[in-house]
Structure 1
Amino acid sequence: MTTRLEKLTENLQAVLGTKLTRTTTHVGEITVECKPADLLDVCTVLRDDTALKFEQLIDLCGVDYIDHGEGTWEGQRFAVVYHFLSISLNHRLRLKVFAKDDDFPVIPTLVDIWSAANWFEREAFDLYGLMFEGHPDLRRLLTDYGFIGHPFRKDFPMIGNVEMRYDPEQQRVIYQPVSIELRNVVPRMIRDEGFHNG
């Protein structure tokens, strides 16, 4: 007897075949991968094929793999991970796409396939610097317009680059280099060697 996950995996392979570069199942969830060039075709099939019917894009996030596996990662640095839901067939799917260029990561937008991608893609752009080709309004969503860098990248400094403050002399908000002193925040252990329990 075929399980639901096995049936979904068979359907994905039958419909998408070589457009999927990898398929894995872990803890009851299927993850598939495809190349950026195939993303729009793959997603259109995921949504429209009667054996799949992924009507909803429920989440999209960026991932920075720069230090993955304690520095043993040899693949591309940035990926976008999509989470899909089929309400009518009651199954879920994760799709991962790696950007080809680590210096300027670009992935096609999914806004024309699922309109929910709009804000998700803006968030991934803002926090990871991922570009979504064809996005109708790709601008920052969570950080200030003057913000420098992308704070979820693993090489972004923990104290940031600039800080914003109100200057009473100029009577306006100004940006300046971060003025936080680096310090050791590891707690010290104080042991009382003469401590006795009653």
Structure 2
Amino acid sequence: MTTKLEKLESAVKGVIGERLVQSQLALGELTVVVAAKDYLQVMCDLRDSAATAFEQLIDLCGVDYSTYGDGAWEGRRFAVVSHLTSVTHNWRLRVRVFADDDEFPILPSLVDVWSTVNWYEREAFDFFGILFDGHNDLRRILTDYGFIGHPFRKDFPVSGFVEMRYDADQKRVIYQPVTIEPRENTPRIIREENYGIKG
């Protein structure tokens, strides 16, 4: 007897065909990897085929694999991972696609396939610098408009020398030198003999 996950894997493989780079069943979920050149068409096919009927994209995020496996990773640096849901078949699928160029990561936008992807792609652009070709409003969504860099990249500096705040007098966001002195916090050790024991 075939399980639901096996049926899903069979249906997905039937729709994707030779465009499937990798398929993995783990922790009760199916993850498939497709090439960047096939990404847009594969996603359209997964949505439109009655065999899969993924009507909804429920999440999309960027990933920086540069330090994955303690630096043992040898593949492409940037990937986008999407989570699809089929209400018709009551199943989920994770789709991973790697950008071909580590220096200038770019992938096709899915905004014309699922409108829900709009803000997810903007977030992946903002935090990882992944560009989405065909996105009609690709701009920062969570960092300041003047922000330089992409804070979720593994090589982004952890601390800086500038902070921003809203100045009510100037009625705008201003940048200023960091005002917090760096310090080391040492936890207080409680040495009471009966600490935590109800008497």
The alignment's TM-score, normalised by the length of structure 2, stands at 0.87
CA RMSD of aligned residues (A): 2.2
Aligned residues: 194
**Post-superposition offset of 1:27:** 1.1
**Post-superposition offset of 1:41:** 0.8
SS of corresponding position for 1:144: coil
The aligned residue for residue 125 of structure 1 is 125
The 1-side partners of 2:171 and 2:12 are apart by 60
The aligned residue for residue 149 of structure 1 is 149
1:16-69 deviations in Å (ceiling 9; x for gaps): 111110000001100000011101110011000010000000000011111110
Q: Relative to structure 1, is the Cα distance of residues 170 and 114 closer, same or farther in structure 2, using a 3 angstrom cutoff?
A: closer
Residue 79 of structure 1 contacts residue 99 of structure 1 at CA under 8 Å; is this kept in 2?
yes
**Paired residues for 1:61-140 under 5 Å:** 61-140=61-140
1:134-170 deviations in Å (ceiling 9; x for gaps): 1000001111111111111122222246311466997
1:71-93 deviations in Å (ceiling 9; x for gaps): 11111111100000000110000
Q: Percentage identity across aligned positions?
A: 59
Q: Relative to structure 1, is the Cα distance of residues 159 and 179 closer, same or farther in structure 2, using a 3 angstrom cutoff?
A: farther
The 2-side partners of 1:131 and 1:35 are apart by 16
The 2-side partners of 1:168 and 1:94 are apart by 45
**Post-superposition offset of 1:2:** 0.9
Runs of at least 5 residues in structure 2 that lack an aligned partner in the other structure: 195-199
The alignment's TM-score, normalised by the length of structure 1, stands at 0.88
Runs of at least 5 residues in structure 1 that lack an aligned partner in the other structure: none
SS of corresponding position for 2:127: helix
**Post-superposition offset of 1:175:** 1.6
Whichever residue aligns with residue 83 of structure 2, its letter is H
The 1-side partners of 2:47 and 2:163 are apart by 44
1:25 aligns with 2:25: yes
Structure 1 stretch displaced more, 78-87 or 65-74: 65-74
The 1-side partners of 2:54 and 2:172 are apart by 49
Residue 148 of structure 1 contacts residue 162 of structure 1 at CA under 8 Å; is this kept in 2?
no
Q: Relative to structure 1, is the Cα distance of residues 172 and 39 closer, same or farther in structure 2, using a 3 angstrom cutoff?
A: closer
**Paired residues for 1:12-51 under 5 Å:** 12-51=12-51
Residue 148 of structure 1 contacts residue 161 of structure 1 at CA under 8 Å; is this kept in 2?
no
Q: Which runs of 4+ in 1 moved over 3 A?
A: 165-173, 176-185, 187-192
Structure 1 stretch displaced more, 16-25 or 149-158: 149-158
**Post-superposition offset of 1:177:** 4.8
The 2-side partners of 1:140 and 1:82 are apart by 20
